[in-house]
């Protein structure tokens, strides 16, 4: 898409050449003596003349945001330098007031739960189904959204995550139609879907599928610096000034121009060369898919395989998921083998799979390394690696907990009103959690403050720890924080 307006990235690139002396912040003055920051900080400026103000954009930043909006098909888009978390908080706080009821997908990121708690909202859940064949949860069914709205007609907002960490997409167009028929605002945490909608080989963007607010982490799947994100606003149901106000409150008043220039450069790249970049990217993925069909023990969970699962609307082919279900090793074992023996750093591990993220910036060399490593490991599975884990059991999948009905004893915002203590995990059945307990990544809570700790929770979390998965929310010595001295609320 041709871009006639001036680009923030290019303006920032030219600025040091003009010879202005920085009698203003930041304090480093672009004068770091050595190291990798020396060059970058020459461009690290503040809101000086000609460079606009993110919170009251009317010049070059506004033009950059409008360009991003045009790319995604949004009527209004804002740059975020605090990640998708900032966008989620602003979206939820900007569409609700204390005491409002919201419907959220149980597989939402912790930032959604924080918004619900800090906003003192009443929360009702919808759940995805666990996909036995692939070992992780699916998407959110439109019929479940309809049922949840019918049970909770006073809910004002619906929040779902699409795509999920594993790349599973829900049918946003149908869900949006249901929400709008009932006059409910649909917020989509699309943090992992910033690259959607730019080619026929990728799923469609939630923006074009009718969601009212969509949050994208540009840095997760596009060439942009960590912490950069976008929030898109559409439709007549959202009070846009409320959202803008929340952005002014929660976003720093000193946003990094390096980060904003990173977003701007990324948008220009997609607009100028996106078609060719995605064409090459999709061809590399197809070649990898074809090669992995030869795997004997490991299993590549390809887009076509995942879409064949019940309740799966679409899947992100950029999520490379290798299943260990048919082997004697765990997903964490595969993660460690890739990292320690093949010098490949995966994104995450679960008990039955290892996940890697592929983007348009991956090179053919990178694809070849992944291909060769996975195929070499597959050849060794039956021998060397299988002997190491011959007694491994993968039947108690912790990911199942994301699909189980939570037993909420009290709203999360009430929990700080009471005392807490930490106890051994195995003694916690029937007690009330006071903290979020999550696998990280992806940061989706297995337990939310105010929820009852079940036998399944104890078993699943114990298995995760034993499998060397990263569990956050426990004490350093592995104990769980529980509520004391509180009566159960209905």
pTM: 0.94
Residue range 416-425: mean pLDDT, rounded: 95
Interval 426-451: pLDDT, tens: 999 999 999 999 988 888 999 999 99
Q: CB–CB of 331/350 below 8 Å?
A: yes
Q: Is 155:178 a contact under the CB 8 Å cutoff?
A: no
pLDDT digits (tens, 9 = 90+) for 88-106: 999 999 999 999 999 999 9
Percent of the chain with pLDDT over 70: 94
Structure confidence at residue 490 (pLDDT): 47
Indicate if the pLDDT at residue 391 is higher than 50: no
* Mean pLDDT for all residues in the chain: 93
Question: Which of the four pLDDT bands, split at 50, 70 and 90, describes residue 378?
Answer: very high
Sign of CA dihedral 46, 52, 54, 60: negative
What is the pLDDT averaged over residues 417-424? 95
Separation of alpha carbons 349 and 467, rounded Å: 10
The owner of tokens 């964490």 is 332
With a cut of 70, say whether residue 383 has pLDDT above it. Answer: no
Per CATH, the architecture of 53-257 is what? 3-Layer(aba) Sandwich (3.40)
Domain 274-388: which CATH number of 3.40.50.970, 3.40.50.2300, 3.90.1150.150, 3.50.50.60: 3.90.1150.150
Mean local confidence (pLDDT), 177-195:
99
Per the CB < 8 A criterion, the answer to whether 60 and 51 are in contact is: yes
Compute the average pLDDT of residues 122-144.
Answer: 94
Distance separating alpha carbons of residues 356 and 350, to the nearest angstrom: 12
pLDDT at 479: 97
Which of 122, 101, 117 lies closest to 412, judged by CA?
Answer: 117
Tell me if 274-388 shares its fold with 406-484: no
Confidence at residue 388, expressed as pLDDT on a 0 to 100 scale: 52
- Taking the CA atoms of residue 132, residue 135, residue 139 and residue 140 in that order, the dihedral angle to the nearest 10 degrees is 60
Helix (H) or strand (E) holding 130: strand 130-131
Quickly state the pLDDT bin for 387 (edges 50, 70, 90). low
Which class does domain 406-484 fall in?
alpha beta
Contacts 24+ apart (CB under 8 A), 243-248: 243/90, 243/91, 243/94, 243/95, 243/213, 244/78, 245/94, 246/89, 246/90, 246/91, 246/93, 246/94, 247/55, 247/78, 247/80, 247/86, 247/90, 248/55
Domain ranges of the chain: 53-257, 274-388, 406-484
Q: 354-373 pLDDT, tens per residue?
A: 999 999 999 999 999 999 99
**Mean pLDDT to the nearest integer, 299-326:** 93
In this prediction, residue 309 carries a pLDDT of: 80
In the prediction, which pLDDT does 485 show?
A: 72
Q: What is the pLDDT of residue 395?
A: 43
Mean pLDDT of 258-263: 98
The partner residues of 89 in beta bridges, in order of sequence, read none
- What pLDDT score was predicted for residue 394? 46
User: Three-state SS string across 241-303, please?
Assistant: HHHHHHHHHHCCCCCCHHHHHHHHHHHHHHHHHHHHHHHHHHHHHHHHHHHHCCCCCCEECCH
Residue 303 has pLDDT above 90, yes or no: yes
Please tell me the predicted confidence (pLDDT) of residue 392: 46
Bond into 23 cis (ω within 30): no
Residue 3, pLDDT above cutoff 70: no
What does the alpha-carbon distance between residue 206 and residue 215 come to, in Å, rounded to a whole number?
9
Beta bridge partners of 355: 321, 348
Write down the pLDDT at residue 199: 96
Q: What is the pLDDT of residue 393?
A: 44
Whether the bond into 143 is cis, omega within 30 of 0 = no
Per-residue pLDDT of 29-53, as tens digits, reads 998 878 888 899 999 999 999 999 9
């Amino acid at each position: 898409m041709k871009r006639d307006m001036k680009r923030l990235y290019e303006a920032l690139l030219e600025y040091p050449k003009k010879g202005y002396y920085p009698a203003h912040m930041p304090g480093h003055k672009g004068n770091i003596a050595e190291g990798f920051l020396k060059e970058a900080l020459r461009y690290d400026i503040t809101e000086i003349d000609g460079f606009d103000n993110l919170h009251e954009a009317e010049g070059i930043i506004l033009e950059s945001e409008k360009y991003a909006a045009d790319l995604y098909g949004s009527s209004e888009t804002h740059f975020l330098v605090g990640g998708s978390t900032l966008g989620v908080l602003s979206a939820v706080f900007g569409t609700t007031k204390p005491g409002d009821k919201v419907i959220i997908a149980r597989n939402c990121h912790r930032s959604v739960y924080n918004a619900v708690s800090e906003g003192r909202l009443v929360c009702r859940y919808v759940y995805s189904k666990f996909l036995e064949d692939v070992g992780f949860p699916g998407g959110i069914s439109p019929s479940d959204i309809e049922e949840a709205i019918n049970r909770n007609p006073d809910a004002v907002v619906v929040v779902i995550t699409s795509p999920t960490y594993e790349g599973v997409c829900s049918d946003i167009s149908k869900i949006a139609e249901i929400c709008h028929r009932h006059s409910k605002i649909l917020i989509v945490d699309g943090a992992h879907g910033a690259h959607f909608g730019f080619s026929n080989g990728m799923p469609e963007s939630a923006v074009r599928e009718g969601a009212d607010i969509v949050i994208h982490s540009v840095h997760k799947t596009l060439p942009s610096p960590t912490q950069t994100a976008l929030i898109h606003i559409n439709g007549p149901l959202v009070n846009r000034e409320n959202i803008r106000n929340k952005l002014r409150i929660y976003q720093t008043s000193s946003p990094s121009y390096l980060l904003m220039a990173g977003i701007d450069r990324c948008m220009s790249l997609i607009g100028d060369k996106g078609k060719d970049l995605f064409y090459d990217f999709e061809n590399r993925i197809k070649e990898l898919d074809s090669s992995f069909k030869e795997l004997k023990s490991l299993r590549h969970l390809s887009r076509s395989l995942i879409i064949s699962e019940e309740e799966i609307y679409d899947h992100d082919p950029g999520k490379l998921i290798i299943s260990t279900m048919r082997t004697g090793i765990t997903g964490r074992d595969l993660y460690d083998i890739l990292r320690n023996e093949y010098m490949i750093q995966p994104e995450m591990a679960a008990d039955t799979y290892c996940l890697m993220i592929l983007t348009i910036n991956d090179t053919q060399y990178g694809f070849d390394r992944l291909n060769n490593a996975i195929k070499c490991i597959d050849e060794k599975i039956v021998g060397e690696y299988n002997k190491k884990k011959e007694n491994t059991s993968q039947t108690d999948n912790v990911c199942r907990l994301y699909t189980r009905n939570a037993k909420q004893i009290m709203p999360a915002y009430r929990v700080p009103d009471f005392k807490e203590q930490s106890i051994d995990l195995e003694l916690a059945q029937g007690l009330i959690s006071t903290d979020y307990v999550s696998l990280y990544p992806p940061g989706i809570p297995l337990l939310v403050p105010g929820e009852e700790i079940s036998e399944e929770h104890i078993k699943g979390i114990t298995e995760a720890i034993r499998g060397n998965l990263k569990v956050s929310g426990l004490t350093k010595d592995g104990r769980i924080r529980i509520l004391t001295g509180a009566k159960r609320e209905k």
